[in-house]
Structure 1
């Protein structure tokens, strides 16, 4: 999942980026609200983390712009000590979750996971397609009762595919969700990693789950159950 973090304290920004990446999120980060708005105009994020007191546009101002554009992306609003009551329950805020500073990395990650689950309707983080089971919390993949070891990027792509089972995803869409703006790899990296996944997930199996839709992209499904 790809997250945008807008926090103007450089040290805290860097710390949160590291913690989120360790929890296997793809992260873009910036230090002010105007730059955050530019990021949001270019990319669709799975979740957004905003500080309230940021230069350019404040967190609530940026959040109001997000909602005015019809985007329902889940947003966690971080507030300085004593300011929580100004935002919780405020119809102007429109945040999905709140976190008062100072907080631990564990608190942040727990809030983000819960917020994302509620928003996207995932009661559990375990998904099944045919005889493939993916546990997103444990980062465990099993097919036909056999454990499959994946790299971090392989797992991220598989997670994105299985969360969108039956939906044809373009290469650009997959790339935007898996790599951030700092990525400088080759343009065919999605195809490369799909080949890796097919070798591990589909090779030797009677039923193939990862399919190519010519001219569009890729889809994870049992044959015959696709939706566009």
Structure 2
């Protein structure tokens, strides 16, 4: 699904669009190859992509059937997508903490069964602490990790990039990367994830200061 977006006027939508229009250098993690951004682009109506459409954008359209068996429709809508050589970069962007503390999934019973299977499979591969239901806590964070796992299970050199903006006074966002780091540590603990797990090398963080984009 291709989801057209307005030109952002506040929050992560605004800052991410601006950062990418300026070349996206400040979104690139340290020691990471230069990223060619393929979404959101001004010439593409700032569109964001989800489900099978996001696979086409990153050149993995052959996995559409597999994705359909892994996750129901209306899966994650990626804030940005990029390519760094053979690497596919999936982006989740935030400008304030309330966005990060997502509610449990509201999926139907049929979809919930598929989602639960996908999340429990990822949790098992990451040797997460048992007893945590990923459909109920930090669901958005959990499903992004699960999609990273899906792609890597299918031999795609996929990477998940969390863009956590700092200094967004309009949104009352964090003023330091330490605030964001604490939030991610909380989420990892709630999901039963170890500090280092099998997907850790493929999960990256950047903390752009919005004052450099204003």
TM range (shorter): 0.3 to 0.5
More helix by share: 2
TM-score (norm 1): 0.35
TM-score (norm 2): 0.37
- The one of the two structures with greater contact order (alpha-carbon pairs below 8 A, sep at least 6) is 2
Structure number, greater radius of gyration: 1
More strand by share: 1
